[in-house]
Amino acid sequence: MNAKSELDRIFPRDRTELSDQRPRLGVVVGGSLSKGLAVKLDAGDLPGGLIEQLAVGRYVVVQGLTSRRFFCIVTDIALENTNPALEASPPVESDIFRAEIYRSSLAYGRASVAPMLVLERDAEQPRPVKTIPAHFSVVAQASEQDVASVFGAEDEHHFHIGSPLEMEGVQVNINLDRFIERSSGVFGKSGTGKSFITRTLLAGIVNSAKASCLIFDMHNDYGWAVRDERGREYKGLQQLFNADRVNVITLDPETSQARGDRHDGALRIPYDAVEPEDVAMLAGVLALSEVQVNALYFLRRRLGRQWFQKLLSDEEVNREELDEYVEKGELIKGTLGAIQRKFELFRRMGFLQPTVSEDLIETLFQKLNSGVSIVLQFGTYGDSLPAYMFVANYLTRRIHRRYVAAKNKAFGRKGDDPRPLMIVIEEAHKFLDPEIAQHTIFGAIARELRKYNVTLLIVDQRPSGIDDEVMSQIGTRVTCLLDNEADIRAVFSGVSGAGALREVLARLDTQQQALIMGHAVPMPVVIRARDYGEELYAALGMPEGADASEKVQQAKEGLFGN
């Protein structure tokens, strides 16, 4: 028996080499499961070998001694040599012959790759990595078939979000069922394309009808058309879907009208519906002290539902009623005066009205529960952080309360489960700061893990400002380029193998690239985000060049308090 036959007997395996099917890169020469594999790169046919053909974030496949293949991601690239004297006396620039001799024998490239999944011939799905390949296992570039076997095909459960780097014809699909199952986040510094990626994700969710979305559109990015810095126009969600699936509600009808944006109604909040909890959320923004916040609860208890209106009122009778509490020693005059001064801000919020005829919360709940997503545009109020925080907190608390009631009825078999809801908030760190996250409705939703069929999609450029406990509950993280060390630490908190991925994140392009990791993808993946344009519109059922006005109907006057 020859040596090859003996090897086959001892190590039975599929002897088809990776290099027969995929471009070979090198062999495994060391490493560990926790720190990743060290790969010695082949010299290759080009000057410098394969070193300049690789980049962090690329996929490679390592063939084990059996039919097992390890799907890995490149996390670092380095130059090595077998003779330290080369560093002290490298060949001169003109000595091309000697340089090539050194590169082919004494100098070489080394790549660090992190094993992510195991692909086995008889297994239907990739499996988590629990071991590593042996020394001298062959490493090759991942093929389109390899990537497709990991991320699957686009179907009613999977949505095409982008392509791996240098593999434009290959789709990376996220699992929408798992994406809405837990709260998710889109992070990245300003100008990296967070809004476009978020809009693409939301289009996929709305199109799948797996959940309704309540979108607090602070900068008017999601409902109607938006232009990028080059002046190119992109369609909003209501232009992609008809009014039966997406409604646009505005706090500022005048601005919507001036922009030419259609809307389905204007949001109005009555004074008597405001509760102290709605204002307490703004304590940091309004500089309300703990004494002043406690005074709000006192006034609500004594004045009843009219407490908010009376604090804003200039009528003599209301001022006299408030002064009585000061005279009785139940309220400090300075505290009352400070509250009234700080409440001047609410006078400028035109969506706050003395009376509103319709039950806004019930209307919103019925629409969301019937599959209609709501985009709440803020118009000029988007420039006012207090207005944005007030409205987001006000509506979310009540919608969540309504979902809890519906879910409890479903538990008691007295009603149906409410449709899953994803609440989208920008500037999320303002709501989820460590000092207040434990007490806000947004922190509660993140910790509930869809207990009441409600999750969050948080969009933020400062993830370091979000409470650690909340970040630990973020199931899927879509991260564009970040350059602040604290923000980078935050997005990787609680992520296995985070050390290997930090360099990948640091090397992203400034636009249209993102690292996706977590619940909705089988492994971390660096993507070039799908173009938000005509191809996507057509995939969602909107013919190229179609006039959005043919698909959108104006809601009847009065639907949302017009």
Give the per-residue pLDDT at 2.
56
Q: Which amino acid is at 56?
A: V
Q: What are phi and psi of 477, to 5 degrees?
A: -120, 120
Mean pLDDT per 10-residue segment, the chain (562 residues): 50 47 88 92 66 85 87 91 81 77 80 90 80 92 85 89 85 94 94 92 95 94 82 88 90 84 88 94 91 95 94 87 90 93 93 86 93 94 92 95 94 90 94 86 90 95 93 94 92 79 86 92 91 90 53 42 43
What's the gap between Cα 130 and its chain centre? 28
Sequence ranges of the domains in the chain: 3-150, 174-182+190-257+356-460+529-550, 272-347
- Identify the pLDDT of residue 12: 46
Closest to 331 in 3D by CA, of 385, 291, 373, 278? 291
Closest CA to 505 of 481, 527, 523: 481
pLDDT at 415: 84
Query: Closest Cα partner for 308 from 291, 326, 295, 324?
Result: 295
Phi, psi for residue 479 in degrees, rounded to 5: -120, 115
The predicted structure's pLDDT at residue 49: 58
Copy the structure tokens of residue 182. 């837990």
What confidence score (pLDDT) does residue 551 get?
44
| Residue 419 DSSP symbol | P
DSSP codes of every residue in 309-369: HHHH---HHHHHHHHHHHHTTSS-HHHHHHHHHHTHHHHT-TTEES---S-HHHHHHHHHH
Per-residue pLDDT, 292: 95
What's the pLDDT score for residue 7? 45
CA dist., res. 265 & res. 328, Å (int): 46
**Which of 526, 525, 528 lies closest to 512 in space, CA to CA?**
528
pTM of the predicted structure, to 2 decimals:
0.85
How far is it, in rounded angstroms, from Cα 304 to Cα 123? 65
Q: In this structure, what are the phi and psi dihedrals at residue 361, rounded to the nearest 5 degrees?
A: -65, -45
At residue 29, the 3 state secondary structure works out as strand
Which pLDDT does position 13 carry in this prediction? 46
Q: What is the CA radius of gyration of the chain?
A: 29
Burial 299-316 (b: 16+ CB within 10 A, else e): bbeebeebbbbbbbbeee
Following DSSP, what letter does each residue of 118-183 receive, concatenated?
EE-TT-SS-EE--S-PPTT-EEEEPPHHHHHHHH---SSSEEEEEEETT-TTS-EEEEHHHHTTS-
Helices then strands, each counted (H, E), the chain: 22, 23
- Could you tell me if 215 and 368 are in contact, meaning their C-beta atoms sit under 8 angstroms apart? no
Could you tell me which of 132, 166, 164, 124 has the C-alpha nearest to residue 147? 164
Instruction: At 234, give phi and psi (nearest 5°).
Output: -125, 145
Q: With beta carbons less than 8 A apart as the criterion, state whether 163 and 173 touch.
A: no
